[in-house]
Structure 1
């Protein structure tokens, strides 16, 4: 199957071209088959390729295809060449398989939208761009896919562009991610200056020979690449765009959060792990940013009332766990959490979309309630996703992937108690807001009547993702419980194993603490939002607690801070610049033309006497000139 590697990104690209050029003339059923079918075909090829890879791994460790030479400029020669090793296969499986389920769900969810073809064209291009990003064998082609997902996020977040708030959200995402993209581009220039190549395999081979560990140049390059990852993955301090990105349709949110854009930063750091390992400073920065982000975003998720914004802050927090794992050197643990997170986060967004659709586009969780019996399939699948998000021990995928990160936050060579405390606090918070979300939406009295129930094209993807949210974790058991590590055995052929400290307490102790903290979070949510709501009502009477709640609801005030630090000064400068000498010159030219126009318009006043007088004056002028 490896000879058909090029078809994996080519099929979504073909779907985009057909739908963008001829979509207006096609029936919706044909559009659905093209949009979902091309992604489904790519997923099938990926699965067959993965089976071939496991049965007979290539001698080089990766399948590679050179499609064509792109361009040459001086010493830089760039080819359109794609590759697939164990790390890439994990990502392309998630992108295509989860992406296909989201597309199938979308065929029903978007059925009433007049821009059906535009939606699927953009979704296909989104998947194609992400595939190019993870399959590229050089950083220039990777950067093409990197900018492609940025473009598609802009198109899809602002898909319903008639609403000004949606356009604002799309612009915000585009502007903020450009900050990281610019830093990343500078990092690529510096990397090429140092190594003379942007071929990923060459960089990984040559970097340890060219740079000394801790060298200033490699630290600067790693931090610039990290800035790119922070922007795309919505990590501190560039996280503010993602909650507003919920303006797009729910399938878009699922695709962005589970399979495409926000995981790009995780892939970049994992792929370029050699550069980060040469810079202890950058590794520490990655870990600290991840730990702070997971805690800050988790706190904001606790108080949100919009169901999609709760899940958005949850994504920021879970990506923070991945960054924490990358920063302490637990590379395969970060990728494993990416793998399981894709299932339960896609499930939660799609199930939330079904709830919103059934409740007449209601987003406020406190206007929902009582849905566990009337929407049984959605309830059960949402429960599986929420349990996995909360990392319910031994029965959910989220536990098997998050538990190693909590352990490595302390036990890895780069770990420390500060990182572990933030990570374990984040585990409590996640369990708490997951319980809050489930109880408020599905228990209690019904506050909004249920309209249309989701059909099979929406529920079947939910069931498949629900199974994945429970079963996907069993491919990698904790090594101190059962020695079954299919996942890490493959991924660690590409990524190095984590380096542990010496003389550590038993990992079983940390697993027990993590389990107790999770149950404590679940119980706290149960008490406050089900068994004893009076406590919560009492807290709401406190002005101090209300102020804290509003502070967290506003995302810790980051939007207000950036507005004061950047937006207002920029607007002030533009207002001053509006009256500079160049503008005065152009305004003067424009005003002169207006004045001349007014003078000339006096000659066209509609009076016959003025016209005759004007003709006579003209004749007299001509005769006078001839006599002279």
Structure 2
């Protein structure tokens, strides 16, 4: 196996260990090792990409990890077209976040620890996407969960951050429970957990059924549904979306790295990688499409009224991930990965742009206390504008090409949920433009609404912050040009590149229909921008009037449909009550404590009482001896 390939994941691992051991001594220089190693990983990822581009596919085991009976799993690496794309996304965004963090985290306690965690996360995500078997994927899957917990809860003395880290970790366990069962079922059906063996014989389970709770279900459908459970949790789709918005309590670079560009896309990657299995279950594909459409609408409506700038972008992430699932649900896996690729750059740019604003505002995150920052932060404004235009699907930018490809495929599919997803997706395109430019106008336009103290400290961020913003802005513009559709005169190199792994669904639409669909989504975005301009620049008093007139609706959206409250009422509190009354009192105290502490306590009490017999009086000893002899004599006489 090429050394350059092995270096991609293991350089960040070495950086994690080294930074954790000696980073504290390095102080403010602790970032150099993580930055150098992730830049080298990016360089080697480019080499791997060009090797794949030239037709070379690497699928090789490094060593045997587990060998037990019929189960044999190796640590191995698969670098094909899908992996090559993910390597570029993970290492490029991670490198820019590392550099950005030098400016953002300057002076923070635990500076070296933060960079060590970033390296651990990068290693975990690379192991996830490079593995050639399900168990290695699951190792990376859980490792990014651990990294997420550490990074979200980096400010561990801050209760909201600590709670958010625990929430992310626990909510993902619900999805991972189904994922684990799915892996077990894959092994029982195929006798292997390696991709090439499972996917190569995936057709063998077509038509097979399994009995569950007295009901017959297709084996492929059950496996696909269980894998999708894991994807729902990791990629924050309904109903396991609740952890992602709260994860914004972590440092802003964490939001950009984990919750915009990489970790949350792991669920989309899983569905795309397992497409040979998902293709065998029309029911699961329809379900994925419906869940994606509902999640997109759900998150977009909430983002319309949020005032915390990072939470607006967080709900935007949930909505954009839903687009990717719509693509996978209608069988357009390459379109889903295309949106994953473009989304990585414009969403990371939005998060890091928010971080630049937060630095200037002395960690103020309420958009209602901002305004007029365009004049003092021109670079941040320009890059934020590019990101907003890109996510709104404006022609020529990255988001335009990938989003329109998804809507086109949703309209074109033979699946029943396709037209529904297209209609919802077009509506959400309007909402996306509306809340994105609402945020832009509230932050950068109008008059400044903060305090005089905040006004006196306003300034553009240092170059270590603005240079990554500029580079991400280039990605937010140029990433989409790899997939220019034929209706615009392109040959869609993206779809052709991924076709050996993900296939390429055929489009059965006329050029006119395709152009009309594209025009409708662009029009939706333009209308959203225009409405945001009217509401927040022309008539800035109108949003408040509408909020009062439709107070019930506004309250419902501002409180996120009360989903967290419902979960707290029907899941969290009953679980805590059951734990305290049953598990603690009955199981722990009455059973376990009785055995563990009760028996030794009884022995000690008996020993204490027997110790009193040894009191040192000869008369007492003679009495005991006489009494004992009498008992023995009586027993002997009875036996005679």
TM exceeds 0.5? Answer: yes
Tell me the residue number matched to 1:302: 304
Range 585-594 or range 568-577, more displaced: 585-594
Alpha-carbon shift at residue 348 of structure 1 (Å): 0.7
Cα distance in 1 between the residues matched to 2:599 and 2:381: 70
- CA distance in 2 between partners of 1:513 and 1:478 (Å): 16
In structure 1, the residue matched to 2:401 is 400
Cα deviation code 1:592-628 (max 9, x no counterpart) = 9999999xxxxxxxxxxxxxxxxxx999962532564
Q: Which residue of 2 aligns with 1:343?
A: 345
| Corresponding residue to 1:204 among 199, 208, 217 | 199
Aligned-residue offset at 1:382: 0.7
Q: What is the alpha-carbon distance in structure 2 between the residues aligned to residue 596 and residue 2 of structure 1? A: 64
Residues 435 and 583 of structure 1, relative CA distance in 2, 3 Å threshold: same
For residues 587 and 130 of structure 1, the distance between their equivalents in structure 2, rounded to whole angstroms, comes to: 42
Residues 588 and 441 of structure 1: CA distance in aligned 2, closer, same or farther (over 3 Å): same
Given that residues 5 and 65 in structure 1 are in contact (C-alpha distance below 8 angstroms), is that contact kept between their aligned partners in structure 2? no
CA displacement, residues 49-87 of structure 1 (integer Å, 9 cap, x when unaligned): 222332x212xxx12332211120111111111111111
Which deviates the most, 328-337 or 209-218? 209-218
Q: Is the 8 Å Cα contact of residues 413 and 499 (structure 1) preserved in structure 2?
A: no
Structure 2 unaligned blocks of 5 or more: 210-216, 606-611, 624-640
1:566 and 2:571 equivalent? Answer: yes
Cα 1:115/1:618, change in 2 over 3 Å: same
**1:624 counterpart residue number:** 619
Determine the structure 2 residue equivalent to 1:612.
none
8 Å CA contact retained: 1:234, 1:242: yes
| Partner Cα distance (1:586, 1:174) in 2 | 28
* Cα pair 2:65 2:74 within 8 Å, conserved: yes
Q: Is the 8 A contact 1:213 1:278 kept in 2?
A: no
Specify the alignment match of 2:634 in structure 1.
Answer: none
1:461 aligned to which of 453, 456, 468 = 468
Q: State how 1:212-611 maps to structure 2 within 5 Å.
A: 212=207, 216-392=218-394, 394-414=395-415, 416-446=418-448, 447=450, 448-449=454-455, 450-451=457-458, 453-500=460-507, 506-542=513-549, 545-577=550-582, 578-580=584-586, 583-584=589-590
> Helix, strand or coil for the counterpart of 2:447?
coil
- The answer to whether the 8 A contact 1:397-1:470 is kept is yes
Distance 1:265 1:240 in 2: 16
Question: Does the residue aligned with 1:159 lie in a helix, a strand or coil?
Answer: coil
Residues 187/566 of structure 1: CA separation in 2 closer, same or farther (3 Å cut): same
Q: Which residue of 1 aligns with 2:157?
A: 162
Deviation at 1:116, TM superposition (A): 1.2
Q: 1:475·1:484 contact (CA, 8 Å) conserved in 2?
A: no
The answer on 1:47 being equivalent to 2:49 is no
The yes-or-no answer on 1:117 pairing with 2:139 is no
Contact kept, 8 Å, 1:413 with 1:500, in 2: the verdict is no
Distance 1:536 1:451 in 2: 27
Q: CA deviation at 1:21?
A: 2.0
Partners of 1:166 and 1:362 lie apart in 2 by: 16
Moved more, 218-227 or 528-537: 528-537
Aligned-residue offset at 1:470: 1.1
| Whole-Å separation in 1 of the counterparts to 2:513 and 2:347 | 31
Contact 1:413/1:501 (CA < 8 Å) preserved in 2? no
Q: 2:179 aligns with which of 169, 178, 184?
A: 184
Corresponding residue number in structure 1 for 2:19: 19
CA distances 1:165-195 after superposition (whole Å, capped 9, x unpaired): 1111111000000111111010000011001
Residue by residue, what CA displacement relative to the aligned partner does 1:12-58 show, whole Å, maximum 9, x if unpaired? Answer: 111011012222222322x211111111110011112222332x212
Offset of 1:517 from its aligned partner? 1.0
Comparing 166-175 and 202-211, the one that deviates more: 202-211
Structure 1 position 213, deviation (Å): 8.3
Q: In structure 2, what is the Cα distance between the partners aligned to 1:582 and 1:341?
A: 48
C-alpha distance 588-207 of structure 1, shift in aligned 2 (>3 A):
closer
Distance 1:79 1:227 in 2: 25
Give the Cα–Cα distance (whole angstroms) in 1 for the partners of residues 127 and 472 of structure 2. 25
SS in 1 for 2:140: helix
1:501, 1:190 → 2: CA distance?
A: 36
Q: Which residue of 2 aligns with 1:6?
A: 6
Distance 2:164 2:333 in 1: 33
Moved more, 240-249 or 211-220: 211-220
CA contact (8 A) 1:351 1:381 kept: yes
CA distance in 2 between counterparts of 1:141 and 1:620 reads 68
The CA RMSD measured in Å over matched residues stands at 2.5
Structure 1 residues 264-286: Cα deviation after superposition (integer angstroms, max 9, x where no partner): 00000000001000000110111
Distance 2:75 2:516 in 1: 49
Decide whether the 8 Å contact of 2:76 with 2:131 is kept in 1: yes
Range with greater deviation from structure 2 (239-248 or 567-576): 567-576
Instruction: Give the Å deviation of 1:514.
Output: 1.1
- With over 3 angstroms needed to count, the CA separation of the structure-2 counterparts of 1:143 and 1:519, relative to structure 1, is same
User: Structure 1: where are the runs of 5+ without partners?
Assistant: 599-616
**Can you list the C-alpha shifts for 1:388-437, whole angstroms capped at 9, x where unaligned?**
11111x22110111011111221122253321111111001000001100
CA distance in 2 between counterparts of 1:592 and 1:53 reads 66
- Deviation sequence 1:572-604 (CA, Å, 0-9, x none): 222331432762467779799999999xxxxxx
Q: In structure 1, what is the equivalent of residue 55 of structure 2? A: 57
- Normalised TM-score (structure 1): 0.92
**Separation (CA, whole Å) in 1 of partners of 2:205 and 2:171:** 33
- 1:603: which partner in 2? none
Q: Distance in 2 between matches of 1:78 and 1:592?
A: 45
Quick one: structure 1 residues 582 and 552, their matched pair in 2 at CA, closer, same or farther if it must change by over 3 Å?
Answer: closer
Does 1:153 find its partner at 2:148? yes
Give the Cα–Cα distance (whole angstroms) in 1 for the partners of residues 587 and 135 of structure 2.
41
How far the C-alpha of 1:475 sits from its partner, in A, is 1.5
The alpha carbon displacement at 1:134 in A equals 0.5
